[in-house]
Structure 1
Amino acid sequence: MKTYVTKPADIERAWYIVDAEGQTLGRLASHVATILRGKHKPIYSPAVDCGDFVIVLNADKIAVTGRRLEQKKYYRHSLYIGGLKEISLRDQLQKHPERVIESAVRGMLPKNALGRKMFKKLKVYTGNEHPHAAQQPQLMEL
């Protein structure tokens, strides 16, 4: 019996649309990360990026449970002394709702060059419109 090794030439990439309206943030992010990694395909290999493209629509209508809107914080640093900035999930959803989903999905991908390559296949938009109609994306139900 021979072992099958996935080669980059064997990979066929599809495009999927996910509607985030009313979806729980973590559950949506884990499902999207699975598709980006390619774990839903029988040819999955951890060392090869065999995932598909994912378009997430209605990022501003995501749902969270409990008191996360006030308690969850996002941090960034300007690399200057005292340059630590913090913003709550509620404020982040008002100012930049696409960053909430991007941050959740990025945390579920590998922390290496392969993970950065996978993350580039994620497209997040706040409304119902997207510029990827030419790729003929399929609607995916979660």
Structure 2
Amino acid sequence: MAEVNFLGQLHHLNLVKLIGYCIEDDQRLLVYEFMTRGSLENHLFRRTLPLPWTDRLKVALGAAKGLAFLHGSAEPVIYRDFKTSNILLDSEYNAKLSDFGLAKAGPQGDNTHVSTRVVGTYGYAAPEYVMTAVRYGKSSFSAY
């Protein structure tokens, strides 16, 4: 439901488009736009030919733009699962963030932080976030 809520409201070139969803009993189905080149993980870890540096930089910039949009939107979003398998690539290596199942609304108004339990893939969060579970707007960590 978090994915439907966030992707239903957020629209950006570097976020995957949610085409539709279905909920029937305990079954859930999400339909995304088709991303012809799959995930970044497949290109970095499962190919024999390395991804050229120009394409790597394009992907990194696209992912950063997606994160910047989430961070700077009117209602900031804490992404919480930023990793290569959640960065999808179209036919021209444009990066789009996917998998908002762990996303959470960020600090708003006079609030300086959001307290939350640590979730996501280990190794992608800043040490201060892992230790305190407090996310500040200026913290540097890749799970945002």
Q: TM over 0.5, yes or no?
A: no
Q: TM-score range by the shorter chain?
A: under 0.3
- Higher RCO, 1 or 2 (CA under 8 Å, sep at least 6)? 1
Structure 1 length-normalised TM: 0.26
- Structure number with the higher helix fraction is 1
Structure of larger gyration radius: 1
Structure 2 length-normalised TM: 0.26
